[in-house]
A and B are shown apart, each in its own frame.
Chain A
Amino acid sequence: MIFSATRGCSTHSGFRFPLRKALSTLVPGLLASVLLLGAGPVPGGAQEEPTLEELELEYRSALSAYEAARRAREAREIRFDRALEAADSARASGNTDELDRAFAEAQREARELGALDRRVEETAEQLREARQVLLEALQDRLEALLEEVDSARDPEEREELAAILVDINNRYLELQATEDPPVEPEAMEEITITPRDTPANLRRKADLLDFQGDQYEAQIAEIDRRMERLEAAQRTNRAVQAFVADIERYDDNRLPVVPPGARNMGTTDPEESAPAGDSVASPDRPMTLEERIQSLQVLRDRLVTYLEQVRDKAERFRREAGGGGRE
C-alpha cells in the first residue's frame, strides 16, 4: 500500500515511511526533552551545601583570577605608557610618521586596556561574591561551633573545639578586614605618600605629577586635533554619500545607453575604510572613519581620567605639604 501525502511519505526507492506514526512518537519525546532541558536542575533535592574548604578554594581561585587580570592590566599599562612616551618624543622631534605610528599603538593599547578594565571589574565582582559567601559560611560555622562549645561536657573536647573556634574566628576577622578589590586604574600609582616624606619631598612629588599631567594635556590636545580632522572628513564623506545617493536613487545616471541596472563603477562604498593615517602601521584591518574617531575617543577618555587623577593627587600632596602652588 502506498501512503497518501497526508498519511506518510514514500521515497523514490519505494521505502515507505509512516509520517504520522513517526511524528506521534517523536513529538512527545521532543517535547519532554525540551521541558527537561528547560527545567534545569531540580532545586532542593539532593544538592549538597559546599563545605567550608570548598568555599575557601573558590575564594582563592577568584582571588588568583583577579590578581592575574590586574597583572595583565599593569603589563598593558606599561606598554600604553611606552606608546605615549614614543608619541611625546615624536612630537618633540617633529617626526609625523613616528607620531602617527605611536598614536596608532597608543589607540590599540587603550582598546586592550579597556577590555582588561572590564576583565578586572568582572573578576573583582566574582572575588567580592566569593568573599561574601565565604564570610557567611564562616559566620554560620562559628555560630554552630559556639553552640557545640556551650553544649560540650567534656573539658578536653571543649578545649579542642575552642581551638578550632579561635582559628576560624581569626580567618573570619582576616577576611572581613580585607579591603574591596580596587577596580579603577590609577595613573602613576607608584607615587604615594610615605611617613618619611618631608614637605619638600611632597612638593617635588606633586611637581612630578603635574609634569605628567602636562604631558597628558598635550596628548589630549593632539587627539582633539586629529579628531577634528577626522570629523571634518566624516562630514565631507557624508555630504558626498548624500550627493551621490540623491543622483543614483532614481537611476538618472543610467541613461538610455547604459546597461540597465549596472552600477557605474566605484560607488562610495560604506564598507571601504578611510585612508590610513593613524592606522598606517596597523597589522589589523584598516579602520573606517567612524571606528577611528571612536578609537581616538577611547584613548581620550582614558587620558582625561588619568589627567584628573594626577591633578587631584598633586593637589592632595601639596595640601599635605602645607599648601602652596605649583613651582
Chain B
Amino acid sequence: MRASAAPAGLPPRGRRIRARIRARVRATVRTAVPVLAWTLACALIPSGLRAQVTLEDLVFTGGASLEGYRGNLAAVTVPAVDSTDEASAAVGELGLRGQIIFLHRTERSLQLQVDAGLRQFVAGGFEIRDYAPREWVGRTELSFRESLEGVGDLWVQGGLGGRRVEDRPPMPLFIQPGYGTAEGRVRLNLLPRGGVLLDAQVMGEMADYSTGAFTPQLALLDRRMWGMEVGARWDRDWTLRVHTAFRATEYPNQGTFDPEDPFRKDRAFSLGATWTLQSNLFVQAGLEATLNRSNSDRPEYNALSFRGVVSAPLPRNVNLNLYAVLTAKNYVNDTEFARLVPGEEADNASTVYLELARPLKVNLDGAVRFGWNRAETDIGESYFHRFGTTVLFRYRPWAP
C-alpha cells in the first residue's frame, strides 16, 4: 500500500512558509555558531599569546559511499512516510577537524576543538519520490585546564554543537534530525594516590531540535540534562578506568498524563569500565550498565552496552581500524504504546565499522570503510539495517 506524502491537517500556507523560514534561520545559526566561535577565537587571541598558539592535528576528510537501508519502521519524527522496505543512496562527504592550542603550560592550558562536515545523499528506491538529503554538522569545544598545586587538574569545558538537515527522507533511510546543543562540564582530575587517579565531574547539556511545519513532533526530543560522574583510573602499560554516573534528564515537551507531574523526567544510573592499551597497537574495550528510571512508565529500561575500538598495523603499511558498539536493552514495563520514536530510545542495537587505511603520500591517507548497523525494535520484531562501503581520503596539511 502506498502511503500519503504529507499528514492531514496542515497549517495555512503563509504560516507554513514562515515556520519553514524560521526553522531554516535557526538551523543556519546553529551550524554557523561553531564556525563563528572558531573564527572569533582566532581573532580575539591576545597578541601576547598569539606566538604560542598552535594548530594541531588538522585533518580534512573527503569521501564517497554507497549505502543500503532495510526495514521500514514507524517514524513519527519524519515529515514524509513511504512504504518501501528498501532504499539505497550514493553519498559524498567533506569533513574538517582540528584543535587550536592557545596556551599549553604545566600550570594551565587552553584549547579549542572543532569538528565540522557536509554530507550529500542521492537516495533512491522510494515509492513516492527520490530524495537528496543534505547534512551540515558542526561541533566545537573549548577546554581550560588549571593545575591546582598538590591537588590535581581542574578542567572547565564548554561546547556547542549543531546539525541541519535538508530534505530529510522517510524511513528506512534514517538520518538524525537537526538540532542544536550546548553543553558544559567541570572536571577535577586528582593527582595519583597509591597508583590510582581519581576524577570527578559535573556536566550539563541542553538540546533543542529543529521543528518544521510538518515536524512539530520533533520538539518532543528537546531535553535538558545534568549529571555527575566519578571515576578511578589505574595506569600501567595499559589503562583501566571504572566509573559510575548519574544523569537527570527532563523532556519538557513529553507528557506523562499525570497532572501532578506532567512532564517526563528520567534518572539514569550507570556503572562502567574501560580498558585501553595504547602503543603502536590501540585497543579499547568498554562495558557499561545503565538503569534508566522515569516518572513515565514507557522509557524505563535496563541496558548493557559494549564498545570496542581497535587499531592494528598490518603488513604493507596498512592499518586496520575496528569500531563496534553492541547494546542490549530490556524494558521494565509492558506498554501498549509504540515505544520507538526515531532518535529516541528503544531496543537492541549493533554498530560495526571496519576500515583499512594506508598512507598514500606524506600528508594523505586513503581508507576503505565498511559499515553495518542493525537495530531491533519492540514493534512486531521489526529490524532496521544499514550497510555501506566508503572510500575516504584524509589530508593533514601540517603532518610532522
Contacts and interface: CB of A to CB of B under 8 A. Distances in A.
Q: Is this pair of chains taken from one and the same complex?
A: yes
Contacts of B357: 239, 243
A215 interface: no
Contacts of B130: none
A243 B282 CA distance: 12
B232 interface: no
Contacts of B207: 260-261
A275 B280 contact: no
Interface in B62-90: 63, 73, 75
Contact of B75 (A246, A254, A256, A266): A256
A265 interface: yes
B307 A266 contact: yes
Interface stretch (A83-91, A128-136, A276-284): A276-284
A240 interface: yes
Contacts of A243: 311, 321, 323, 353, 355, 357, 367
Interface in B194-241: 197, 205, 207, 209, 221, 223, 235-239
Interface stretch (A6-14, A30-38, A118-126, A228-236): A228-236
Contact of B205 (A238, A261, A265, A286): A261
A257 B235 contact: no
Interface residues of B, number: 91
B57 A238 contact: yes
Contact of B309 (A259, A268, A271): A268
Contacts of A271: 143, 145, 155
A268 B319 CA distance: 18
A284 B313 CA distance: 32
B279 A229 contact: yes
A176 interface: no
A264 B305 contact: yes
B235 A249 contact: no
B147 interface: yes
B293 interface: no
A245 interface: yes
Contacts, number: 185
| Interface bracket on A | 35 or more
Given A243-B323, A257-B345, A275 B373 contact: no
**Does more than half of chain B's interface fall in helix, strand or loop, or is it mixed?**
strand
B127 interface: no
Nearest to A236: B282
A273 B199 CA distance: 13
A274 B282 CA distance: 11
B181 A265 contact: no
Contact of A237 (B93, B221, B278): B278
Interface in A34-51: none
A205 to B, nearest CB: 39
Contact of A242 (B235, B272, B377, B394): B394
Contact of A257 (B93, B197, B347, B371): B347
Contacts of B279: 229, 232-233, 236, 275
**Does more than half of chain A's interface fall in helix, strand or loop, or is it mixed?**
loop
B189 A285 contact: yes
Contacts of B63: 246
B174 A256 contact: yes
A244 interface: yes
Contact of A247 (B59, B73, B145, B323): B323
Contacts of B57: 238, 241
Nearest to A115: B106
Contact of A283 (B192, B280, B288, B351): B192
B103 interface: no
B278 A275 contact: yes
Interface string B249-293: 000000000000000000000101010111111101010100000
A268 B284 contact: yes
B164 to A, nearest CB: 12
Contacts of A280: 235-236
A243 B371 CA distance: 12
A257 B63 CA distance: 26
A251 interface: yes
Contacts of B135: 250
Given A240-B311, A247-B353, A275-B239, A257 B305 contact: no
28 contacts: A238-B57, A239-B282, A239-B365, A240-B311, A243-B353, A243-B357, A245-B95, A246-B61, A250-B135, A250-B163, A250-B176, A252-B351, A253-B323, A253-B325, A255-B349, A255-B384, A256-B340, A256-B342, A257-B345, A261-B223, A266-B272, A273-B235, A274-B278, A275-B238, A275-B239, A285-B147, A286-B192, A286-B197
Interface of B: 57, 59, 61, 63, 73, 75, 93, 95, 97, 99, 113, 115, 117, 119, 135, 137, 143, 145, 147, 152-153, 155, 163, 171, 174, 176, 179, 181, 189, 191-192, 197, 205, 207, 209, 221, 223, 235-239, 270, 272, 274, 276-282, 284, 286, 288, 305, 307, 309, 311, 313, 319, 321, 323, 325, 327, 329, 340, 342-349, 351, 353, 355, 357, 365, 367, 369, 371, 373, 375-377, 384, 386, 392, 394
Interface of A: 229, 232-233, 236-247, 249-261, 264-266, 268, 270-277, 280, 282-286, 289
Top-6 shortest CB links A-B: A266-B286, A256-B342, A257-B346, A251-B176, A276-B235, A232-B280
Given A236-B311, A257-B377, 11 more contacts: A232-B279, A243-B357, A249-B95, A250-B117, A253-B323, A256-B174, A259-B345, A260-B221, A268-B284, A285-B191, A286-B235
